[in-house]
């Protein structure tokens, strides 16, 4: 009996070790906000969702398989969440039952196992009962198969049979076993038997036997009886403990996979109740980096979206977040420039989070989305609000980039946010140019936000064939729209708007009313022209 909800041919493995950079990626993209919402206080759900989110799938068919299952979970989220709770409660109850007896005698083992199995039987019944009403609404291969399994393998007659047998295993009429005589007339070959049902016939058969009672204080006799019981129960004790262990393993696995689906459903609900779009992306074959850098470089990554937003940001806002459109099919490079606080980093995060969700087989934060499977996602985020630009910061950035370079493979995705801003524009641009070009030539996708004009301009001139250039929009009056549109990099970052707003006056310009440097003592020259 297998779960196989999140993978078509094997169970989810939550013990998988996440890559070293996963922590940084999670921080940079602000995934905690998402995870907290998915968890809603349940640490197990949180951990499971985190692992799944940060360890992507590599096969398109697997992604589609899982998307279908997630879609089904969204159709009846209360059922999935409800089952999760039932299983958690059942496992807990089973663990607590009969923990007092630590003896390893078959007697004790049988009793412990029977108690556990009684609890599990109740859980198994709920699995069938709670999923039956929604079976007809399920569409995915994974969920359909599993619910059908519940319906056929856990039907009521079977469960009643189990319960009857568990009752039998409390031996209300004593332990009955068969034996033969071995050497020295010692009983051997003990086989536990089920007494035939009570009835007048069996009672008369009972009389064909003979019996005796132990004397009152016969301690040796009682010990003898105990040994006989242990011999008789040895086999069934092993069978029962294996059975209860097997069911426990199944329930734990189901619990873990339901945890992920429950988290996903919660996230979906949180976004859609706000009116935000969420869709299952169309996923196409990945750029096959395993065939070498050349091939990877010529492979065509896909990225087309409408209304893409950063879900973490949305969850933190009262109103809806601004969505953006992207047309980056075939582009290895996506460069985002433009006004400060214009939504550049937000778009970057949105792209990164969407890629993770896509690779996790989940829905993405967009109205429509078509993408390709990549490999790992790496982030290299500078501190954009930090104005203290010191030499030490640059070294730290360089180290981080080196760590990434040591691991990154063709087909992977690098999200760079204000990389190398910790130095002057010339130096930073040169560093970034080297790094980005190298990655592109390796077949690594780069999505970068920068305000280094030198960098942006040079890339625009040399990488147009494989790059898409976007610019944060700015209204005439300086208002930000948070819309990012295609556009060439512009030499200024609209710092003037900021200045105007904060200082409440116009910043000095060379053709304005202020003095240019070196003009001290001279009268301001009138402007040529009108």
Partner 1 sequence: MPATTAEPSGAVASLLWPDGGTGAGPEVQPLTEAAARDLQLAPLFDALSRDAPWLAEWYATPCADVETVVYRQQIATELEREEVAMPLATFARRIQRVRQRADAAQRVPHPYVAESWFLTNAQRYLHATTALLEELDALHLEAPGMGSCRSALRAIVAGDRFRSLASATSAAQEAMDGVAYTVRVQTGRISVDRDHGEPDLSAEVAATFARFRTGPPREVERPPVEPGVDHVAARILELVADQHPDAFAALVDLHRHHRPLLDPTVAGLAREVPFYLAYHERLQRIRAAGLPLCQPELVAADAACSAEDSYDLAVALKQLADGKPVVANDWHLDPPERLLVVTGANQGGKTTFARAFGQLHHLASLGLPVPARRARVGLHDRLLTHFERQERITTLRGKLEDELVRVHALLEQATPDSVVFLNETFSSTTLQDARELGTAVLERLERVGVRAVFVTFVDELASVGRATVSMVATVAPDDPTVRTFRVLRRPPDGLAHAVALADRYGLTYEAIQDRSTP
Q: Which of 250, 227, 214, 263 is nearest to 87 (CA)?
A: 250
Q: Does 161 bind partner 1 (CB under 8 A)?
A: yes
Among 100, 157, 184, 526, binds partner 1 (CB under 8 A): 184
Residue whose pair of structure tokens reads 């013990």 in the numeric block: 15
Q: Identify the helix (H) or strand (E) that includes residue 68.
A: helix 60-75
Q: Does 15 bind partner 1 (CB under 8 A)?
A: no
Q: Does 283 bind partner 1 (CB under 8 A)?
A: no
Q: Are strands 413-417 and 445-449 parallel, antiparallel or unpaired?
A: parallel
Among 15, 100, 186, 503, binds partner 1 (CB under 8 A): 186
Q: How far is the CB of 343 from partner 1 (least distance, A)?
A: 51
Q: Candidates 45-53, 158-166, 379-387, 468-476 — which segment interacts with partner 1 by CB under 8 A?
A: 158-166
Strand partners of residue 463 = none
List the structure tokens of 325: 């459109």
Among residues 230 and 425, whose Cβ is nearest to partner 1? Answer: 230
Among residues 244 and 493, whose Cβ is nearest to partner 1? Answer: 244
Alpha-helical runs (H) found in 369-516: 391-407, 425-442, 453-462, 495-503
Among residues 209 and 528, whose Cβ is nearest to partner 1? Answer: 209
Among 65, 147, 250, 469, binds partner 1 (CB under 8 A): 250
Q: Candidates 176-184, 304-312, 330-338, 371-379 — which segment interacts with partner 1 by CB under 8 A?
A: 176-184
Q: How far is the CB of 487 from partner 1 (least distance, A)?
A: 58
Q: Does 211 bind partner 1 (CB under 8 A)?
A: yes
Among residues 19 and 238, whose Cβ is nearest to partner 1? Answer: 238
Residue whose pair of structure tokens reads 């076993």 in the numeric block: 177
CA–CA gap between residue 266 and residue 39 (Å, rounded): 8
Among 3, 48, 143, 232, binds partner 1 (CB under 8 A): 232
Among 227, 390, 407, 501, binds partner 1 (CB under 8 A): 227
Give φ, ψ of 186 to 5 degrees: -90, 135
Q: How far is the CB of 278 from partner 1 (least distance, A)?
A: 36
Q: Does 219 bind partner 1 (CB under 8 A)?
A: no
C-beta pairs of 165-168 under 8 Å, 24+ apart in sequence:
166/114, 166/117, 166/118, 166/121, 168/194
Q: How far is the CB of 259 from partner 1 (least distance, A)?
A: 21
Q: Does 391 bind partner 1 (CB under 8 A)?
A: no
Q: Does 101 bind partner 1 (CB under 8 A)?
A: no
Q: Does 210 bind partner 1 (CB under 8 A)?
A: yes
Q: Does 151 bind partner 1 (CB under 8 A)?
A: no
Strand partners of residue 368 = 306
Q: Does 192 bind partner 1 (CB under 8 A)?
A: yes
Is residue 444 within 8 A of residue 410, CB to CB? The reply is yes
Q: How far is the CB of 181 from partner 1 (least distance, A)?
A: 5
List the structure tokens of 36: 């907290």
User: Within a 10 A sphere around the Cβ of 442, how many other Cβ atoms?
Assistant: 18
Classify residue 41 as left (phi > 0), alpha (psi -120 to 50) or beta: left
Specify the length of the chain in residues: 530
Q: How far is the CB of 192 from partner 1 (least distance, A)?
A: 5
Q: Candidates 126-134, 177-185, 491-499, 502-510 — which segment interacts with partner 1 by CB under 8 A?
A: 177-185
Among 99, 242, 298, 492, binds partner 1 (CB under 8 A): 242
Provide the mask over 421-460, with x wherever binding to partner 1 is found by CB under 8 A and - wherever it is not.
----------------------------------------
Among 20, 136, 204, 208, binds partner 1 (CB under 8 A): 208
Q: Does 148 bind partner 1 (CB under 8 A)?
A: no
Among 132, 225, 438, 508, binds partner 1 (CB under 8 A): 225
Q: Candidates 63-71, 226-234, 267-275, 436-444 — which segment interacts with partner 1 by CB under 8 A?
A: 226-234
User: Within a 10 A sphere around the Cβ of 412, how many other Cβ atoms?
Assistant: 22
Residue 501 neighbours by CB under 8 Å, 6+ apart: 478
Among residues 242 and 496, whose Cβ is nearest to partner 1? Answer: 242
Residue 48 neighbours by CB under 8 Å, 6+ apart: 12, 14, 256, 259, 260, 263
Q: Please count the residues of this chain forming the interface with partner 1, following the rule CB under 8 A.
A: 63
CA–CA gap between residue 395 and residue 416 (Å, rounded): 16
Q: How far is the CB of 261 from partner 1 (least distance, A)?
A: 22
3-state secondary structure of 167: helix
Burial per residue of 320-348, b for 16 or more beta-carbon CB atoms within 10 angstroms, e otherwise: ebbbbbbebeebbbbbbbbbbebbbbbbb
Is residue 490 within 8 A of residue 471, CB to CB? The reply is yes
- Cα radius of gyration rounded to whole Å, the chain: 34
Among residues 229 and 451, whose Cβ is nearest to partner 1? Answer: 229
Among residues 212 and 503, whose Cβ is nearest to partner 1? Answer: 212
Burial per residue of 196-208, b for 16 or more beta-carbon CB atoms within 10 angstroms, e otherwise: eeeeeeeeeeeee
CA–CA gap between residue 294 and residue 292 (Å, rounded): 6
Residue 194 per-residue DSSP state: P
Q: Does 170 bind partner 1 (CB under 8 A)?
A: no
Q: Candidates 189-197, 346-354, 420-428, 471-479 — which segment interacts with partner 1 by CB under 8 A?
A: 189-197
List the structure tokens of 465: 């064939």
Q: Which residues bind partner 1 (CB under 8 A)?
A: 1, 105-106, 153, 161-162, 165, 168-169, 173-181, 183-188, 191-196, 205-206, 208-214, 220-222, 224-225, 227-232, 234-236, 238-243, 246-247, 249-250
């Amino acid at each position: 009996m297998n779960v196989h909800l999140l993978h078509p041919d094997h169970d989810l493995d939550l013990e998988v070790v996440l890559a070293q950079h996963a922590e940084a990626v999670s921080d940079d993209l602000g995934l905690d906000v998402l995870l907290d919402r998915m968890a809603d206080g349940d640490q197990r759900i949180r951990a499971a969702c985190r692992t799944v989110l940060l360890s992507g799938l590599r096969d398109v068919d697997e992604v589609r398989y899982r998307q279908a299952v997630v879609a089904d979970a969204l159709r009846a989220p209360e059922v999935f969440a409800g089952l999760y709770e039932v299983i958690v409660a059942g496992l807990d109850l089973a663990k607590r039952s009969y923990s007092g007896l630590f003896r390893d005698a078959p007697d004790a083992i049988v009793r412990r196992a029977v108690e556990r199995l009684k609890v599990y039987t109740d859980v198994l019944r709920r699995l069938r009962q709670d999923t039956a009403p929604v079976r007809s609404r399920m569409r995915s291969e994974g969920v359909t198969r599993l619910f059908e399994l519940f319906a056929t393998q856990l039907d009521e007659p079977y469960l009643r049979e189990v319960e009857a047998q568990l009752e039998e295993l409390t031996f209300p009429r004593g332990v009955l076993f068969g034996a033969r005589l071995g050497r020295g007339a010692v009983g051997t070959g003990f086989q536990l038997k089920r007494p035939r049902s009570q009835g007048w016939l069996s009672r008369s058969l009972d009389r064909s036997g003979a019996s005796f009672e132990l004397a009152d204080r016969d301690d040796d006799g009682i010990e003898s009886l105990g040994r006989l019981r242990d011999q008789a129960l040895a086999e069934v004790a092993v069978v029962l403990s294996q059975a209860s262990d097997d069911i426990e393993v199944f329930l734990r696995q189901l619990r873990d996979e339901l945890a992920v689906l429950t988290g996903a459903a919660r996230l979906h609900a949180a976004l859609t109740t706000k009116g935000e779009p969420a869709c299952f992306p169309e996923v196409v074959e990945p750029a096959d980096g395993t065939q070498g850098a050349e091939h990877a470089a010529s492979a065509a990554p896909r990225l087309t979206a409408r209304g893409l937003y950063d879900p973490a940001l949305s969850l933190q806002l009262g109103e809806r977040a601004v969505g953006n459109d992207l047309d980056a099919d075939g582009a290895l490079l996506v460069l985002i420039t433009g006004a400060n606080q214009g939504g550049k980093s937000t778009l970057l995060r949105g792209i990164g989070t969407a890629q993770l969700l896509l690779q996790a087989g989940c829905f993405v934060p967009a109205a429509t989305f078509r993408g390709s499977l990549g490999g790992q996602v790496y982030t290299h985020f500078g501190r954009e609000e930090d104005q203290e630009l010191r030499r030490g910061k640059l070294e730290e950035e360089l180290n981080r980039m080196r760590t990434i370079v040591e691991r990154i493979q063709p087909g992977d995705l690098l999200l760079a946010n204000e990389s190398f801003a910790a130095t002057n524009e010339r130096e930073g641009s040169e560093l970034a140019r080297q790094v980005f070009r190298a990655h592109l030539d390796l077949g690594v996708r780069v999505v970068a936000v920068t305000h280094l004009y030198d960098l942006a301009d040079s890339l625009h001139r040399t990488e147009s064939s494989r790059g898409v250039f976007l610019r944060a929009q700015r209204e005439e009056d300086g208002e930000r729209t948070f819309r990012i549109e295609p556009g060439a990099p512009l030499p200024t970052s609209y710092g003037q708007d900021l200045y105007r707003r904060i200082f409440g006056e116009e910043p000095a310009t060379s053709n304005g009313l202020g003095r240019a440097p070196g003009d001290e003592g001279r009268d301001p020259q009138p402007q040529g022209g009108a």
